[in-house]
Amino acid sequence: MRISQLVPCLVPAILVATGCFAAAQQGGSDWQKTYPIAGKASLSLSTGDASLELRSCGACREIRVRVDFRDRKPDDFNVVEMQSGDHVNFELKEKVHLGIHMSIAHWRAPQVFVETPNALDLDARTSDGSLKVSGVQGNLELHTSDGAVDVADVGGAVRLTASDGAIHIHNLTGTLESRSSDGSATIDGRFSAFHVHASDGRLDVTVAEGSKLTAASVIEGSDGRVTVHLPRTLAADLEVHSSDGKVECALPLTVEGYNSSNGSGHNLRGHLNGGGVPLTIHTSDGNVTISAL
């Protein structure tokens, strides 16, 4: 079914569309819809194999969603979407094809573009597409299984789960929980707490000037070198361990303990600027380098 104009919904508090395009299509290749928001926006997104790009539209009072189907046919997908108050749920699902299905290797997967108010609670998921988020603040849950992640200029509480793709997080303010595998991770921000885990890839973390850790924070890596950049003014109780690599620390440190005996790896404990909350850096099969900003 194709509907060429907006369809008014008869249900007073909830807007629902499933299995059809309940919004304007442009040239048969785009789907788009705008959802008015009265209070703080809340958004759940699931885009499957399509890439997702979400950014802030500043002080706007609406959520805008657009799907560019690119080389695919819109009829190959279902759009499932609903609004209840200030919460919007959007899913892009590829239809199941029975029998023999011919595919073209160079087909480009769809892209989903979203604009939201600056203040946002978000749950965003992709399975085989890249994920980009910028300019929003709130509780941000991000999940991807096979695509690159690019997060910039966000704030609040960010939780990321990713695999099989590079991660870039830039200028984050607040707290971060990040778990990734099979890809390098580059992270910087002004943190109050963080827990970063990366396996099978290089890990580079910058704790920006102005950061004040208010809760225990952890950096964990395996099968790749770990580089941590810290401000000279950061106060923390530092514990560093590398199972199979050397440890270098360029900051002034009141050493409480050091062990580099055979079989125990390299272990370093001490206080930065008189000490504070625990900051733990653990890795296996890689060097640890701690440098000053």
**Residues 194 and 117 occupy one common structural domain:** no
Same domain, 1 and 34: yes
Kindly tell me if the per-residue pLDDT of 249 is higher than 80: yes
- Mean of pLDDT values over 4-11: 40
Per-residue b or e along 213-241, where b marks 16 or more CB atoms closer than 10 Å to that residue's CB: beeebbbbbbbbbbbbbbbeebebbbbbb
| Tokens linked to 270 | 């001490």
pLDDT tens string 94-140: 988 655 555 555 678 899 999 999 999 999 999 988 999 999 999 99
Tell me which residue range forms the domain holding 136.
1-96+108-150
In a domain, 159, yes or no: no
**Do 198 and 137 share a structural domain?**
no
Give the global pTM. 0.85
Residues 81 and 190 in one domain: no
| Pair 230, 254 in one domain | yes
Residue 219 lies in a domain: yes
Q: How many CB atoms lie within 10 A of CB 1?
A: 7
Provide the residue type at 205 as one letter: V
Residues 144 and 171 in one domain: no
Q: Kindly state whether residue 161 falls inside one of the protein's structural domains.
A: no
Q: How confident is the model at residue 24 (pLDDT cuts 50, 70, 90)?
A: very low
* Domain contains 160: no
Which of 88, 118, 150 is a domain's end point?
150
Average pLDDT of the chain?
86
**227 lies in the same domain as 120:** no
Q: Does residue 170 sit in the same domain as residue 288?
A: yes
Q: How many domains is the chain built from?
A: 2
Asked if residue 103 belongs to a domain, the reply is no
Is position 218 within any domain? yes
Tell whether 144 and 210 lie within a shared domain.
no
175 shares its domain with 272: yes
Residue 183 has pLDDT above 90, yes or no: no
Whether residue 129 sits in one domain with residue 61 = yes
Question: Same structural domain for residues 172 and 136?
Answer: no
Does a structural domain hold residue 197?
yes
End residue of a domain, out of 117, 150, 183: 150
pLDDT per position as a tens digit, 36-86: 999 999 999 999 999 999 999 999 999 999 999 988 889 999 999 999 999
With bands split at pLDDT 50, 70 and 90, how would you rate the model's confidence at 18?
very low
Does the residue 157 lie in any domain?
Answer: no
Environment class of 58 (CB within 10 Å of its CB; exposed 0-12, middle 13-18, buried 19+): exposed
